[in-house]
Amino acid sequence: MNKPGHLTNQTRAGLLFAAPWLIGFSVFLLFPLLKAFYNSFTEYTILTPPVWIGFENYADIIRDELFWKSLGNTFYYAFIAVPVSTVIAISLAMLLNTKVKGQAFYRTFFFLPALVPAVPLAILWLWLFNGEAGIINAIIEPIFGVRPNWLGDVNLAKNILIVMSAWGVGHAMVIYLAGLQQVPIALYEAADLDGASPLRKTFQITIPMLSPVIMFNVVMAIIGSFQVFTQPYIMFPGGAPERSTYFYSVYIYDAAFRDNRMGYASAMGWIMFLIILVLTLTAIKFMDKKVHYESN
């Protein structure tokens, strides 16, 4: 019989097998997280030791107009890109779930954009939306007689990034497709016997049965939308035009590695963490009431 406080052989074995993950988690996630939290209360430039300044970084952030500008741009992007991408991903998954000729080709075709690395993707879209020699304007000008300055217009630039997010919904689409294939066929057969229309079957069978998957993808999309960095950083240097594409994550990067204000950037990082946490918990609480679990 084991004495109180002594580990059993099974517990030791379990800890031993979990040790690589625990070490990796502690070194690469927990320690940086705690270090960033401490640095957020210091004046820190990497080249000099951290100097404790209390809540001064947070007070400066509240007074920083660029902070509010970048946060507003990020919220605008998130609250449009997330629902638009969700609707498109579900729609594509439903189309690809039908039994049509060449189904494997279509699934591959719609998933391929999600496999393109972020940097080549940004360069590709720069070429497409170039105001002078872009393919989009080459198509639009002969038809409508206009040549929009997509990348230089304050009202258009952010929306290009939203279109890009909708173009790369392949990963979410595959998850929705897997969820659709778990919906019992008997439900659709019963609906057909009742004379239900396709639209009614979509909203009364497909969407409710897919709701757990929708909640997962929406939460992940919210988190990802607040961390978008590569595309705006490459396509719109400095947040051009007029800081309309200056996203929060880009500002954190500039504060840390361009201005060498690591303490300030750490404080911004923790504010982002809290914003994402609140939005995620709010989304889960709101959607959980509408999620249908098969066991219910």
pLDDT given at position 296? 45
Mean pLDDT by 10 residues, the chain (296 residues): 65 90 93 94 91 96 97 96 96 89 87 90 92 90 91 92 92 94 91 91 92 94 94 93 95 95 96 95 88 66
CA–CA separation, 12 vs 144, rounded Å? 72
Name the residue among 192, 191, 219 with its Cα closest to residue 279. Answer: 219
pLDDT given at position 131? 87
> What domains appear along the chain, each with residue ranges and CATH number?
61-288 (1.10.3720.10)
pLDDT given at position 86? 96
Helices within the chain (DSSP H only): 9-25, 31-39, 56-63, 65-96, 103-111, 118-128, 135-144, 154-167, 170-180, 185-193, 198-201, 207-225, 230-235, 248-253, 262-288
Name the residue among 201, 221, 186 with its Cα closest to residue 294. Answer: 186
